[in-house]
A and B are shown apart, each in its own frame.
Chain A
Amino acid sequence: MIAPARGPTRVRHYACIHPETYKYFFAKHDVLAVWGRLAAIYGEPSVRPGFGVIEIQSERLILRATTGGNPITVIRTRRCTSQDVEALHRVFGFELE
């Protein structure tokens, strides 16, 4: 019997920039494809090898992870709207319970 597919989960995370910061956790086999979709929409990720960080900075969202790519920390900027978050959730395949 095949288990039903599960979407990503998230936990709240502290960041001074925005109180609504979360880490999103993905299934290992999904995460590369997720970064591919993020790159297509928000721009190519940059790599900071010294700290082992990959990152996409857009005007409204900052998406960051250690080099494994998972979990992805999502920091909202002041310009981020609820529509921006909903759009990101669609990219992630994340649904609020």
Chain B
Amino acid sequence: MTDVTKIIEVEHLNFRYPQTEGRPALNDVNLTIEQGEWVAIIGHNGSGKSTLAKSLDGLLPLTPDSGTIRVAGITLSEDNVWNIRRQIGMVFQNPDNQFVGATVEDDVAFGLENIGLPREEMLTRVHAALKRVRMLEFADREPARLSGGQKQRVAIAGIIALQPQIIILDESTSMLDPTGRIEVLETVRELKEQANLTVISITHDIDEAANANRIIILDDGEIKESGTPAEIFQYGERLIELGLDVPYAERLKAALRRQNLVVPQQYLTEEGLVDWLWTLHSKM
């Protein structure tokens, strides 16, 4: 085991999808993620975000010259890919296409069955996991009778039942309605607090990115920037090209600037902007 606080270390990662010409999907990506960190990875469609996420979980055919990936001190190779997958839980984009079980509890149990957990232990873990995502009362429901947000919460329950160290959200909220999106993000936030999980979220959603400790911008398979949300959000209008919306406070600042008002350069949260406007107003 190397440094345990570095839960993910990626060095010189390269990847090209078989039978594709042109530029590689990932080009010399170097990345370190600390335990307990929430990292948002953003980038426009086709920038390599999902490829990066899948490669961390050993879901891509990596070759020896692809670079190295270390998860919780284990270097990813064909022999220990299953050990690595036990450390990482992934929630994918389409809620329907990752629901394996015929009912909610069966789906949560799926991962547990895969590791051959005794049934008694499964019952306890399924119950606990469903309780933590507040889906206990839906335990015997079929997926057809759940909303998108509920299905994603079941997917999350299936992950935490396996007690991994890392959760990867691969555009998990992009197909949900606003209510579903909030449900899922709240759930992940709570779980992260309780279990000191490391969260990597691939997203276009500004609220999801604002939740993160750090935002990484991927462009054409390369890491372009990395910084706190406040640092990244200063980019204003440029964020759209990078695959993210402009935070509301920045948009309002831009509109005020167009009215010739002198506004602060640094990033303000909405809260901060209200305070700043109020202070200004009270000087009248």
Determine if chain A interacts with chain B. Answer: no
